[in-house]
Amino acid sequence: MQLYNKLSAKERAELIEEAGKDRLTLSFYQYAKIENPQEFRDHLFLTWDALDVLGRTYVATEGINGQLSLPADNFNAFKTHLDTISFLKGIRLNVAVEQDNMSFLKLKVKVRKKIVADGLNDDTFDVTNKGVHVGADKFNELIEDEKTVLVDMRNHYESEIGHFKNAITPDVDTFRESLDIIEEDLKAHKEDKNLVMYCTGGIRCEKASAYFKHKGFKNVYQLEGGIIEYTRQIKEQELENKFIGKNFVFDERRAEKISDDVIACCHQCGAPADVHTNCANDACHLLFIQCDACKEEMNNCCSNNCKEIHALPFEEQKELRKGQGNSNDIFKKGRADHLPYKKDLRNIFETMKPKDT
C-alpha cells in the first residue's frame, strides 16, 4: 500500500504535460478535533492519490490545512469525498484566482503538531471561539470606519508585494511573532476599536481572532476566506477592490495579481518589481524579489558569489555542498545583508499606531 509520493517533480511535470488536462489549484482549512491524525492522513493520501491530487496538506489534532491541485475533471469526485467527512461536509474551497497546471508537483500529506504554527502553549485557549466572519462587502464597509484597526496577519515578504489600503503590515518573519506584538500595541483599544484582520485564505486569521478574543478584545472580525475569496466576491458582486498589488501564495506560482499596482521593488537594483524567486544556487535558495533585467544579468541568482557557484558543473556544485546545510540566508526571505534594496525592518510599534493617534 503506497502511502507516500514516489515520483520526482520532473517526472510528475512530464505526466501532467502528457495528460493535457486543465488542473485546478485550490485551498481549504478547518479547525476540528481529530482523534487519530495519522490514520486520517493515510486515508486522505490513498483517496487523493487515486484522484491525481497534488499539493501540501497538514493534519493535526486541531484540524486540517490544505493547498492542492487536481484535474478539473476530478473536482466533483474530490468534493464528494470531502462531504463524506463530517467536519468537512459543505466546506468552502478557495479556488485560485490564477490557474497554473504546475502549481504543485507532489502530493504531501503530513501530520503536524498544529496546522498553523503559533508558538502558543495555553490550555485555556479555544481556537473554535473565533471572531466574526465578514464577506467582501461588509469588509469594505468596516475598513472605512474610523473605529477600525485593519491588520495584515501575514509575514513581511507577503505584504511587501500586496496589501489592503491603510492596513497595518507587521514586519515579522512568522505568524507567531505577530500575535504578542499586536496585542501589546493595541491593548489600550480592546473595547473601543474594531480589530479587523485578513490573510491569504483565512486560516491564520481564524486562529488569531480566537486568540485576541481570548485576550479580551471585544470587537474582532476576520475577512471570510481571506484575500482569495475577497477577490472572487468583488468580481462577482462588482464591488470596489481595496487590495493593491499581488497576493503571495505558497506554491510554484508565488503570487496572484489582484490589481495592476506594483508596490515593491527589485531587491538587487531597486526598479519596480513584485516577482519573488528562489536563488538558483542550490546551496542558497534565498527567496527574494528580482526584476527581469537582474534575472538575466545574475542568472537567477541573489549574489555574484551564488552566480559563480551556479555556473560551475553540477558535480562540482554537488561536491561543494557536501557536509554543508543551506545558508542561513534562506530564512531571511528577502532580508539578506547582501541585497541592497531589501525591505527595511521598521519600528513595528511606530507602524502599528491606530489611525487617530
**All structural domains of the chain with their residue ranges:** 22-111, 132-239+345-351, 276-331
**What CATH architecture does domain 132-239+345-351 belong to?**
3-Layer(aba) Sandwich (3.40)
- Residue 220, judged by CB atoms within 10 A of its CB (0-12, 13-18, 19+), counts as buried
Q: How far apart are CA 121 and CA 137, in angstroms?
A: 36
pLDDT in tens, 303-342: 999 999 999 998 898 888 887 665 555 556 888 889 999 8
Q: How far apart are CA 47 and CA 51, in angstroms?
A: 7
pTM: 0.84
- Retrieve residue 87's grid coordinates: 467536519
Residues 105 and 13: beta-carbon distance below 8 Å: yes
Give me the amino acid identity at 147: K
Residue matched to cell numbers 475577497: 230
- Lowest-pLDDT range of 211-220, 267-276, 348-357: 348-357
- Tell me: pLDDT of 18 over 60: yes
pLDDT in tens, 127-169: 888 999 999 999 999 999 999 999 999 999 999 999 999 999 9
- Lowest-pLDDT range of 9-13, 151-155, 191-195, 343-347: 343-347
Point out which residues pair with 197 in neighbouring strands. 151, 222
Residue matched to cell numbers 539578506: 336
pLDDT in tens, 67-106: 999 999 999 999 999 999 999 999 999 999 889 999 999 9
> How does the average pLDDT of the chain come out, rounded?
90
Please give the pLDDT value at position 319. Answer: 85
- Residues 180-193 have a mean pLDDT of 92
Pick the CATH number of 22-111 from 3.30.70.100, 3.40.50.2020, 3.10.20.30, 3.20.20.80: 3.30.70.100
Per-residue pLDDT band at 1 (split at 50, 70, 90)? low
- Residues 287-301 have a mean pLDDT of 97
Cα angle 19-21-24, degrees, rounded to a multiple of 5: 130
Please give the pLDDT value at position 332. Answer: 67
Residue matched to cell numbers 558569489: 305
pLDDT in tens, 228-256: 999 999 999 999 999 999 999 988 889 99
Catalytic residues: 199
What is the percent of the chain where pLDDT is above 70? 92
Q: Which residue has the higher pLDDT, 62 or 348?
A: 62
In this structure, what are the phi and psi dihedrals at residue 249, rounded to the nearest 5 degrees? Answer: -130, 155
In sequence order, the 6+-apart residues with CB closer than 8 A to the CB of 264 are 160, 161, 245, 272, 273, 274, 289, 343
- Retrieve residue 289's grid coordinates: 524579489
